[in-house]
């Protein structure tokens, strides 16, 4: 996997989310981008390149993105969703109580509860936590991501069987190479794993 990291040695480097504070590596956010290499649109034999973009963030923005209440809120939501799913399974199946039945219902409830809580949490993450601070997940304007998405990189794992695979036929390896050069020279990023 390729990694694109900001140059923390640059004294002018700013946090992407507030465009104001000095970021630190320990608070950075990461986003993965995918690009289909081969032109094969079959489920068999398609390959993609995975790029992890490291986005500079300051401590203040990190705390705004991951406040303590949100972590507790998410856990509570998870618990509630799990209990709801458990109750639903229990009612629907009219289960005979036994250890195996309880274990199965609990495992399914925890899994579905986490998925449901994660889905609800997504809506909170889309909102700006403070005026002038970009919301978590709003990374499209980060220069290296903007460049790669402009070339046809996807911010989700391509799934050709669902028709989500997109191959930019006109794109040559030289185009990607020149985008990487711009990311290094103009965005002052360090690319590793090439
Ligand atoms: Zn910031």
- pLDDT in the model for residue 163: 57
Give the distance (Å) from ligand 1 centre to CA of residue 112. 34
pLDDT for res 100: 78
Cβ-Cβ contacts under 8 Å for 147 (sequence gap 6 or more): 179, 182, 183, 187
Residue numbers of the chain with a pLDDT score lower than 70 = 37-46, 95, 97, 160-169, 194
pLDDT of residue 165: 55
Q: How many CA atoms lie within 13 A of 65 on its CB side?
A: 19
Distance in Å, CA 147 to ligand 1 centroid: 22
Ligand 1 center to 82 CA (angstroms): 35
Question: Using an 8 Å Cβ cutoff, are 10 and 187 in contact?
Answer: no
**CA 121/CA 104 separation, integer angstroms:** 26
Task: Tell me if the pTM is above 0.75.
Answer: no
* 26 alpha carbon – ligand 1 mean position (Å): 13
* pLDDT single digits (tens) 41-83: 555 556 778 899 999 999 999 999 988 887 788 788 888 888 8
CB-based contacts of 120, cutoff 8 Å, min separation 6: 77, 81
Task: Name the residue ranges covered by the structural domains of the chain.
Answer: 2-64+133-192, 68-125
Q: How far apart are CA 46 and CA 167, in angstroms?
A: 11
CA of 53 to the centre of ligand 1 (A): 17
Per-residue b/e over 94-111, b at no fewer than 16 CB within 10 Å?
eeeeeeeeeeebeeebbe
Cα(94)–Cα(79) distance, rounded to whole angstroms?
Answer: 22
């Amino acid at each position: 996997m390729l990694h694109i990291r900001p140059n923390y040695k640059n004294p002018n480097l700013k946090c992407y989310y507030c465009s104001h504070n000095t970021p630190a590596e320990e608070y950075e956010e990461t986003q993965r981008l995918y690009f289909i290499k081969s032109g094969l649109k079959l489920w068999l034999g398609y390959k993609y390149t995975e790029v992890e973009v490291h986005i500079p963030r300051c401590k203040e923005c990190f705390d705004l993105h991951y406040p303590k209440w949100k972590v507790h809120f998410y856990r509570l939501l998870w618990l509630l969703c799990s209990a709801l799913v458990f109750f639903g399974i229990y009612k629907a199946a009219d289960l005979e109580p036994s250890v195996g039945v309880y274990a199965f219902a609990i495992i399914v409830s925890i899994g579905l509860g986490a998925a449901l809580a994660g889905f609800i949490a997504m809506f909170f993450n889309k909102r700006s936590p403070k005026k002038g601070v970009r919301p978590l997940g709003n990374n499209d304007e980060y220069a290296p991501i903007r460049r790669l998405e402009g070339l046809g990189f996807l911010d989700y794992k391509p799934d050709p069987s669902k028709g989500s695979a997109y191959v930019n036929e006109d794109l040559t390896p030289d185009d990607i190479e020149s985008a990487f050069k711009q990311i290094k020279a103009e965005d002052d990023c360090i690319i590793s794993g090439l």
